[in-house]
Amino acid sequence: MEVIPGGGTSVSQTEGQATKGRYYGITWRAIVLGVLLIPPNSYWIMYVEGIRHSGHPTAISLFWNVVFTLLVLVLLNLVVKKAAPRYALTQPEFITIFAMLTMASALAGHDSLQLGIPNLPGVAYYANADNRYNEILRMPGWLTVTDPDAATAFFLGHDTFYKKRYILAWLGPTLWWTLFTVVLGAVTIAINIVMRKQWTENERLSFPIVQLPMTITENGGNVPFFRNKLLWVGIALGAGLDILNGLHTLYPNIPTIPVRHDDRDIALAFTSPPWNSIGWTPLPLYPFLIALGFLLPLDLSFSVWFFYVFRKLQHLMLAIYPVPTNPRMPYFAQQSFGAWFVYFAFAMWMARGHLKGVWRRVLGRPDGVDDSTEPVTYRTAVLVVVGGAIFLCIFAWQAGIPLAATLPYFAIYFLLVTAISRMRAELGPPAHEMAFGMDAASIIGTVVGTKVLGAGMFSVVPLMYWFTGRGYRTTFVPGQIEGFKMATLARTSPRRLGWAMLLAIGLGVIAAYWAALTLQYQIGSLPGGMVEHNSGLWGAMVERIRNPEGPDKTGILFIFLGAAFTAFLFAMRHAFIWWPFHPAGYALSTAYGVEYFWSCLLIASALKWLVLRWGGLPTYRRALPLMFGVILGEYCVGAFWSVVSVILRQATYDFAPG
């Protein structure tokens, strides 16, 4: 590992296979292994997240199910390396498996197809004479399940999906959404191909998320790493906590150490106004999130919890100086979108020279950026982006979104996921949820009003909510650029990796549908599961159709205020090296989601400051195995309890938030 001046860490490009001075190819056996591992992982995620609403492996940037699977393979590979070295997997092969499972897991994840799949039969099940959904909502039949029996059995369960009528009812929509998702994935991979060299080579961003998988897969299994005593101290701490709390869940007489976000609420201590206006304020103490926070640049971990407190102060100020005519104040989603917009603009400004070189290469000029090491040429990547965007817009238009709204609809999505990818590459936040009003339809509605969008737009929003709606935690886009970075570090060509990730996206959609339909038809809707997770969405869309509004001028103002404040933070950061407030902290904390880990980052930032202040960089480097151990200890034991829940069909200890 090497530590960069800003306090973040990156994996040295001289480690692992890179030391041998040659490129190791991505093999077909690695791709086959990735393909074979996708269905069980999708089933696992759909059961614990979608049905049981627990565990939430995909609500964190570093998916714990993927890390656990990778670790099991690495440990098996250590045995193979001793018994039959020629058959042992290499680091590039592990990277391939990791990237493929990340793509598929993201699609099966909490904010992705767990939202999209239950909405396909939604109107066929919920519509009745009172709500008149069939009359108000203009649902595209080719993208939804219209058979009432197939829809009813999906929601009620105690049946089987494997009936001809049910399969036929789902076949058409599943194929259409698979095609849509593959095109969406191809466009995002192409965007990341264009940005790869800028972020990995020109800016040399630190990519904190890839540190752990790169470390444990070095040389096909890093034996010295696993012999580190501090690593095992960390594993003992993380695993010991989860063993104790897991046993308490099964046997309540056993004591517990409460660390979850729902174990304590600071707001309960404030019962009188104006202090009771701060709302739900949990105090999570997840050890693995503290360890992940320790890996972050210090200014980011500090800024995330600081701006979370700043958000709570806005609630307090509104209680003291109320604005009774506008219950939407202080427009957190609009503030956050303004912040993310400026963060995206900053990323593009930093890349302006590279993008000019890419454009010259597309035009065939000799002074363009070299693309010989990219998965495809820049010209091909740009054609994929343009052609894919046209397909997506036509798809959305045929589904019911007004043609004029399709381009801004997808532009908002690509803006946000590109900004998330840049932030993950630079800073590696533990999560990046943007719920409650950050979907493309809500942002467009704020700017132009819901009157001009019409019933077709809001009828389709629930169908599109899985990729631009609920929270963006499980978007597969940042995993793509991280996969390319890992390939660069391992000195393997990213060309085949790009195709492997696209294959994983296609298979991931099919696996997610298979797992969700198999489980839902068998078990039905449980509290907090896929159906309840979507509850209220149809009613909200009907309300927008019945009561259309014009542009929200105050909401537009707060978009500009969020953008202006973020621009100010960037300017101060550029002008003063001591400036501690990172714009990314404001963008992350203004939207909902930081509740799950804000206090973990408070502890992590204080711990990291103390280590750097009194021990310096050498002590910080020595502490990294301890943090890796805490993460691995919780991931492994947490995964064990999760697998037990699948086998026993009952709830077990939920070690991760979501």
- Secondary structure (DSSP) of 519-585: HHHHH---TTSHHHHTTTHHHHHHHHHHS-----HHHHHHHHHHHHHHHHHHHHHHH-TT----HHH
Q: How confident is the model at residue 12 (pLDDT cuts 50, 70, 90)?
A: very low
Q: What pLDDT sits at residue 592?
A: 87
Report, as an integer, the average pLDDT of 174-180.
98
Q: Which residue has the higher pLDDT, 94 or 527?
A: 94
What does residue 10 show for φ and ψ, rounded to 5 degrees? Answer: -140, 160
Measure the N-to-C terminal CA separation of the chain; round to a whole number of Å.
Answer: 30
**Cα-trace Rg, the chain:** 24
Q: How far apart are the C-alpha atoms of 188 and 447, rounded to whole Å?
A: 26
pLDDT value at 303 more than 70: yes
If one compares 644 and 491, the residue with the highest pLDDT of the two is 644
Instruction: Kindly state the average pLDDT of the residues 508-534.
Output: 91
Q: Which two tokens stand for residue 401?
A: 């979104």
The predicted structure's pLDDT at residue 3: 39
More confident residue, 527 or 615: 615
pLDDT level of residue 18 (50, 70, 90 thresholds): very low
Over 90: is that where the pLDDT of 271 sits?
no
Check whether 124 has a pLDDT greater than 70: yes
Model confidence pLDDT, tens digit, residues 478-490: 999 999 999 989 8
- Residue 550: what are its φ and ψ, rounded to 5°? -85, -175
Say if residue 15's pLDDT is above 50.
Answer: no
The set of residues, in sequence order, having a beta carbon less than 8 Å from that of 123 and lying 6+ positions away, is 133, 134, 137, 139, 144, 538
Segment 23-50 shows an average pLDDT of 91
Mean pLDDT value of segment 186-202 = 96
Q: How far apart, in whole angstroms, are the C-alpha atoms of residue 165 and residue 211?
A: 48
Q: Is the pLDDT of residue 5 over 50?
A: no
Give the span between the Cα atoms of 207 and 481, in whole angstroms. Answer: 9
> What was the pLDDT predicted at 24?
56
The pLDDT assigned to 20 comes to: 41
As a 3-state breakdown, the chain gives helix, strand, coil percent values, each rounded to 5, of: 70, 0, 30
Reported confidence tier of residue 538, pLDDT bands at 50, 70, 90: confident
Lowest mean pLDDT among 149-158, 170-179, 265-274, 505-514: 265-274
| Tens digits of residue pLDDT in 548-572 | 999 999 999 999 999 999 999 999 9
Mean pLDDT computed over 367-384: 93
Q: Give the pLDDT confidence of 450-474 residue by residue, as tens digits.
A: 998 988 899 999 999 999 878 899 9
Classify the C-alpha dihedral 501-502-507-510 as positive or negative: positive
Q: Across residues 375-404, what is the average pLDDT? A: 96
Please give the pLDDT value at position 6. 38
Alpha-carbon gap, residue 68 to 66, rounded angstroms: 5
Burial of 330 (0-12, 13-18, 19+ CB in 10 A): middle
- pLDDT for the residue numbered 55: 86
Q: How far apart are CA 265 and CA 283, in angstroms?
A: 6
Cα distance between residue 214 and residue 144, in whole Å? 41
Q: What is the pLDDT of residue 166?
A: 97
- Asked whether the predicted pLDDT for residue 220 surpasses 80, the reply is yes
The answer to whether 217 touches 91, Cβ cutoff 8 Å, is yes
Q: What is the DSSP letter of 505?
A: H
Q: Indicate if the pLDDT at residue 378 is higher than 90.
A: yes
Task: Report residue 587 as tokens.
Answer: 């963008």
d(CA 147, CA 152): 9
> What average pLDDT does this structure show over 51-75?
94
Tokens of 167: 């399969």
**pTM greater than the 0.85 cutoff:** yes
How far apart, in whole angstroms, are the C-alpha atoms of residue 20 and residue 361? 31
Mean pLDDT to the nearest integer, 440-451: 93
